[in-house]
Chain A
Amino acid sequence: MFKNTSQNYGLLAIIFHWLSALVVFGMFGLGLYMVELSYYDPFYRDGLQIHKSTGILLAVLIVLRLIWKVANPSVKPESEATSMEKLQNIIARVVHVVLYLGLFGLFVTGYLISTSDGRAIEVFNWFSVPGLGELFEEQSDIAGTVHLYIAWGLIGLVALHIVGALKHHFINKDRTLVRMLKVSNVTKVED
């Protein structure tokens, strides 16, 4: 139920996946929106505060997700019969790895923007993550630029990830998407 098998995602992996997806979309939209707000917008300060706090919590979530992923059997691709399918499976795997790398890139650069003066990042008045100060010159500006590029790159990859899932569902008509939507007990006989 909770754990993965080699053919099905468990409940926890499914929750991790969709919660991350929801937060990533929300953060992308909020990030683009908040930097355009005027100084007198009531949301000018809260927008940034929510973005920073959520970013830290998402980082924690993703670390827990990776720990859970490592602790579970990896779910095999639905089909790897032809060489084309094998190639597509490799591409899908690379996209997954780069999605995680992109998320960590966002966590690191986001942190670097706000902490170059040694200030901590306050997480929803709950706890704070200490700042390390300026680690390199023009830290906030460089980190800010990279943060924006990674964010767009990540959303591009997410789009590819979604296209891949839909292709499996509607063209290949396999269980790739469905097994991420609900916990299933289906087991295929290994041949």
Chain B
Amino acid sequence: MKKTIIALSMAAMTLSAGANAADYVIDTKGAHAFVNFKIKHLGYSWLHGRFNSFEGDFSYDAKNPNASKINVVIDTASIDSNHAERDKHLRGNDFLNVKANPKATFKSDSITFSDDTNAKVKGSFTLNGVTKQIEFDVQKVGEGKDPWGGYRVGFEGETQLKLADYDIDYDLGPASTHVTIGLHLEGIRK
């Protein structure tokens, strides 16, 4: 009986180790991951900001890259454009409405690699309570062992969103109707 349990648990450990070989947690703990945004100011310059608090995981295996998946949850209240009054405005009803919609999420439906580094990600993005299908290009930045006994891989990608699609219709002017979201994610293998 005891032996069976030990054997079973050994098998379970092996299995789970096998299943997790391609699973990564996004390194938000060590802050090697960034969700940035930029939007034109008046049409004359770019305003940059980021979301400080988010989490997620993805799976990726260089041997079977098209089986990759990604899932990211962003705390919208963590928006940071380095200006307290502006950030307060951005969190309010004119923009992100963070009390009603504290989370923005992205969940991939498919990730298709065209070569070793370039892929197209399709999935559903939810912002301000509105869910839309989006697709954007990502690139693998690098992959390998880290100096502390772990294994890491990093990706980055950019996508442009029309604010009005997500019920954000505050008038920032004709040059500022779209925001570009930049994802820069490093994953640590689980």
Residues of chain A having any CB pair with chain B under 8 Å: 38-40, 48, 113-117, 119, 138-141, 144
Contact = CB atoms under 8 A, between A and B. Distances in A.
B91 to A, nearest CB: 6
A119 B84 contact: yes
A113 B84 CA distance: 7
A144 B83 contact: no
A113 B173 CA distance: 26
Query: Range of interface residues on chain B?
Result: 10 to 19
19 contacts: A38-B171, A39-B172, A39-B173, A40-B171, A48-B85, A113-B84, A113-B88, A114-B84, A114-B85, A115-B84, A117-B82, A117-B87, A119-B84, A138-B77, A140-B84, A140-B87, A140-B88, A141-B88, A141-B91
Contacts of A139: 84
Contacts of A141: 88, 91
A113 B77 CA distance: 15
A117 to B, nearest CB: 4
B46 interface: no
Contacts of A116: 84
Given A117-B83, A138-B77, A39 B88 contact: no
B170 A39 contact: yes
A121 B60 CA distance: 49
B123 to A, nearest CB: 30
Contacts, number: 30
Interface of B: 77, 82-85, 87-88, 91, 170-173
A144 B82 CA distance: 18
A29 B20 CA distance: 60
Contacts of B91: 141
Contacts of B82: 117
Contact of B171 (A39, A115, A138, A140): A39
Contacts of B172: 39
A15 B159 CA distance: 60
B88 A144 contact: yes
B49 to A, nearest CB: 12
A116 B80 CA distance: 12
